[in-house]
Structure 1
Amino acid sequence: MNEVTNVLPEIKIGIMPLTDTAPLIVAQENGYFAKHGLSVSLKMQSSWASLRENLHKGQIDCAQMLAPMPFESQLALSNQAQPVITPFILSKNGNAVTISSSLYREITKKLGYPPLLPMCASVLKSLIKSYKRQGRKLTFAVVYQHSCHYYQLKSWLIAGQVNPKDIEIVIISPCNITAALAAGDIDGFCSGEPWNTIAAREGSGYTVVAAPDIWSNVPEKVLGLLSTYYEAHKAEVFKLILALIEACQWLEGTANRFEAALMLSKSCYLNTALENIAPSLIGSGIIHRDMMPRELAKYHQFYHLHQELGNSPDIGYGARILNYMVEMNHISSIQAKRCNIAKIYRADIYQSAMAMLFEQRLARCT
């Protein structure tokens, strides 16, 4: 008689080539998905827009998403409304603003000394006036419009009393953003790692301010999926959450983070040198290849030690994201009030997974 082999249905998860993809890659490489009886395939995406569309069309089952993207999908800000939800916060912080070396030199010349770090956007004001007389604007890039990168960049400008309308803001995918800076197509960008570190190491840019300097403890990446997928695969989603909790907990150790950097550097993932990935993971903010790094202990946050709800997509987190979307005129206050946060940021699913974990631990003790 032939043996019957149980083939697990594969869960396709879309990811982007970013350092804060670490929880998903660690869960795969350390065998946490397999431990929980899951067969997972990580699918690298070329841009946030294509990732979003692939999730909407069912070409991937789940995705590493920007924290505002579930709201974007539900509110039909980019195309038809889709019931995207998140049951898990993958990371907080992780972004930075990098300016071109030529802009850094211009600022230094205007001030008579290098700008203090973290750099206040107010140092751009005199240059903006000079550029306006020449009929041009400073151009900054972000990787996606409905993103914390966009909101952090504008928040940084506003805090420095710079009118964001005086800056041209363009959208460039993460993979192309450092090349655009090196070519002089843009004067700066706000992106996740490792792209800031790559620009600094190449000498084309100076990383002058990081997300924790602007606003901190806000969800950056979340696990996104359609609510229809969740309803059809509840057990698998719970197991995904349990595997990701293990990965996020493992990432608390500095030595483990260095090991994670080795995983991420593989050609199938970020495909870049270890020296571009490791620094931000271990709290070292590379400014420029000729400068000492900044200490940034909270550059990447994946798990809050001693806080069981650290990765829970609580309503408070969702409300904060919505507030930024209102402040930056992406949605109206009426849209925000009508938005049922608890139906999008699904803390209830996270809590059900935690209950499942508690039952597993109880069973092992009896």
Structure 2
Amino acid sequence: MKQELRIGFLPLTDCAVLVAALERGFFEKYGLHVTLQREVSWANIRDRVAFGELDAAHMLAPMPLAATLGIDGLGIPMQAAFSLGLNGSAITVASPLMEAIRQHYPQALCTSPVRSHGLKHLLSAQTPRKLVFGCVYPFSQHHYLLQAWLQDGGLVLGQDVEIRVIPPQQMVESLAQGQIDGYCAGEPWNQQAVSRGIGQVAVTSYDLWNNGPEKVLGVTQAWAEANPETHQALLCALLEAAHWLEEPHNRVRIAELLTRPEYLDVPLALIQPPLLGRYRYAPDEPERLLPDFNVFARYAANFPWHSHGAYFLAQMHATGQLATLPADPVALLAKVYCTPLYRLAAETLSLPYPTVDYLSSVHCLAPWVLRDASQPIAMGNSYVALERLRLG
């Protein structure tokens, strides 16, 4: 008898691992009958997992940690034993603002990654007004990248700029209606703004922290403890799906599936190019090659690194979300990011896995090999562009 599971997701390209596991039969292979349920916001996903309406979900990587710390408004402990991938988001700015920067402060666009100094100059030169940027959820890599990027350019949060929480699929329309000046979100919502001519990508997560964390599979700790065999089957199915997605021809196939109304419901032209490493920053610019824009399995992408969790703790503290750091962060991170469960699933599939929980450095300028592993694992560069992001 197959185990029935309800898994929630938001309409973002990086739900591809879940879609591949369902559509390519990996869930079925491991005795799971899965229903994927499209949700309306990250807060909705949090609530439905917390109260048992969903068994598991596509979650922002810091969400299980925030839940376990009790700072998310609910305080129901959660865990993650699987990362759904690396990279995949960007900061988009309204086209009129970007054009004003190009006209008056072109030097602000000459750095790589593009910095936000031009926005500060515009505010100083014109009648002062507060900019408004959208962010998908307070406890998200998007929030930390966006804050760091804005502050790097001299913008003062609360004084020069306000950050509002908006579901990712509502960002483009909010930008079109002039409710926000920009946003940080995952794809395909940046490419949609570019295709409509209403927004231009200032910088991607790939530019700010290449191979940085993004999403995880989140469950409550109570569910994980009550369903250990089902949890392991779920991890094995997702591991196979993630590795299937690293083949270019399979990315073409998953892009076609993601266009369906029950998944992303957007044109193929907005989904496929970034999945294949081709990315458009502005309507009148050619695509740029970003081969690692979406990483689904390479570079130990599915491992729930405790070092990523330590970074989230530092960002929560630095941004005022967490008043004091926990007395025993090592024990907390071991509770939330469950590396032994991942290793068991990888060993079941004869896949290599890290034998350490922490990466010694997240600032590597060239590809390298992780030797603290069951077998050596090729790792990509993971440079961190802004000093504010190097906490933890």
Q: TM-score, normalised by structure 2?
A: 0.84
325, 332, 355: which one pairs with 2:316? 325
- Give per-residue Cα distances to partners, 1:146-166, cap 9 Å, x unaligned: 111110011112333433342
What is the 5 A alignment of 1:183-222?
183-222=177-216
What is the 5 A alignment of 1:150-161?
150-161=143-154
CA shift for structure 1 position 284: 1.4
Provide runs of 4+ in structure 1 moved above 4 Å: 336-339
**Counterpart of 2:118 in structure 1: which amino acid?**
V
Tell me if 1:292 matches 2:291.
no
Tell me if 1:120 matches 2:115.
yes
Distance 1:83 1:96 in 2: 29
**How many residues are aligned here?**
348
Cross-structure match for 1:341: 333
CA shift for structure 1 position 228: 1.3
Cross-structure match for 1:30: 24
Tell me if 1:86 matches 2:77.
no
Distance 1:97 1:103 in 2: 13
Higher helix share: 1
Q: CA RMSD in A?
A: 1.9
31, 34, 45: which one pairs with 1:40? 34
Distance 2:78 2:161 in 1: 32
**SS in structure 2 opposite 1:242?**
helix
**Counterpart of 1:138 in structure 2: which amino acid?**
L
- Give per-residue Cα distances to partners, 1:222-252, cap 9 Å, x unaligned: 0000111112211111111111111111111
- Is the Cα contact below 8 Å between 2:309 and 2:337 reproduced in 1? yes
What is the 5 A alignment of 1:250-265?
250-265=244-259
- Give per-residue Cα distances to partners, 1:58-110, cap 9 Å, x unaligned: 00000000001001111121223112100101111111011111111211221
What is the 5 A alignment of 1:111-150?
111=105, 115-116=109-110, 118-131=113-126, 134-150=127-143
> Can you give the 5+ residue segments of structure 1 that lack an aligned partner in the other structure?
1-5, 360-366
- Is the Cα contact below 8 Å between 1:64 and 1:224 reproduced in 2? yes
Cross-structure match for 1:311: 302
146, 150, 155: which one pairs with 1:162? 155
- Is the Cα contact below 8 Å between 1:33 and 1:40 reproduced in 2? yes
- Is the Cα contact below 8 Å between 2:243 and 2:297 reproduced in 1? yes
**Counterpart of 1:326 in structure 2: which amino acid?**
H
Distance 1:26 1:112 in 2: 43
- Is the Cα contact below 8 Å between 1:326 and 1:336 reproduced in 2? no
Q: Which 10-residue stretch deviates more, 277-286 or 46-55?
A: 277-286
- Is the Cα contact below 8 Å between 2:85 and 2:301 reproduced in 1? no
Distance 1:47 1:239 in 2: 27
- Is the Cα contact below 8 Å between 1:155 and 1:214 reproduced in 2? no
Tell me if 1:182 matches 2:176.
yes
What is the 5 A alignment of 1:9-28?
9-28=3-22
Distance 1:91 1:257 in 2: 14
Distance 2:166 2:153 in 1: 24
Q: Which 10-residue stretch deviates more, 136-145 or 283-292?
A: 283-292
% identical equivalent positions? 36
Distance 1:83 1:184 in 2: 38
Q: Which 10-residue stretch deviates more, 90-99 or 350-359?
A: 350-359
**SS in structure 2 opposite 1:11?**
strand
Distance 2:183 2:146 in 1: 8
**SS in structure 2 opposite 1:340?**
helix
- Is the Cα contact below 8 Å between 2:317 and 2:325 reproduced in 1? no
Distance 2:178 2:244 in 1: 40
- Is the Cα contact below 8 Å between 1:68 and 1:147 reproduced in 2? yes
**SS in structure 2 opposite 1:300?**
coil
Cross-structure match for 1:233: 227
> Can you give the 5+ residue segments of structure 2 that lack an aligned partner in the other structure?
352-392
- Give per-residue Cα distances to partners, 1:289-335, cap 9 Å, x unaligned: 2221222122111112xx6x441213222112222222222113433
